[in-house]
Amino acid sequence: MDLEFLHTLDVQILGAVAVAIVAVVVGAVFLFSSKKPKVCLDPENFKQFKLVKRDQLSHNVAKFTFALPTPTSVLGLPIGQHISCRGKDSQGEEVIKPYTPTTLDSDVGKFELVIKMYPQGRMSHHFRELQVGDYLAVKGPKVNVLFQMNRIPLMFWKQGGCCVCF
């Protein structure tokens, strides 16, 4: 009886098991060691974000781009949530108003707000006066309802005269 065949088979099985173990270890190391981007928002305390760009889109609408603390930071705002922005009105009184950024949470290093500025709007005054290099106080997210994909088969929202179906 030729035992050489069994020895060759054992080496092949041992090699396959070794390759599988190495693949599992490498996958686990990659999965658990990959750093998640640093989240910048604090739901309780206002943080300051520097205005780095201001684009006037129309006579009363502008896009404001704010820098996050590092180029790899993300805002940390779940889908369907908003941030609270703090500023001063024309009389110098503090105003806090919610806004939803137009950037995705996967965008790193910055977030953008598109703001319509009304003549008598209290927070509009603050945004009209905001210049590149100034800071905006922001906190959030304010979580009332957390949106999760595929949890509800059909959702219908009526918001400000617009209808959106998911």
The reply, when asked if residue 35 is annotated as ligand binding, is: no
Q: Is 143 annotated as a binding residue?
A: no
Residue 77 lies in a domain: yes
- The enclosing domain of 101 has a CATH number of 2.40.30.10
Beta strands across the sheet bearing 47-56:
94-99, 83-88, 135-139, 47-56, 61-67, 110-116
Residue 117 counted as an annotated binding residue: no
Which residues are CB-contacts of 86 (< 8 A; sequence separation ≥ 6)? 46, 94, 95, 96, 136, 137, 138, 139
Does some domain include residue 155? Answer: no
141 is an annotated ligand-binding site residue: no
116 is in an annotated binding site: yes
- The reported pTM is 0.68
Q: Given this model, what pLDDT does residue 161 score?
A: 53
124 is in an annotated binding site: yes
pLDDT in tens, 65-107: 999 999 999 998 887 789 999 999 999 999 999 999 999 988 9
Q: Give the confidence band of 50 by pLDDT, cuts at 50, 70, 90.
A: very high
Is 28 within a domain? Answer: no
Average pLDDT over residues 16-20: 71
Domains identified in the chain, total number? 1
Residue 85: domain span: 47-139
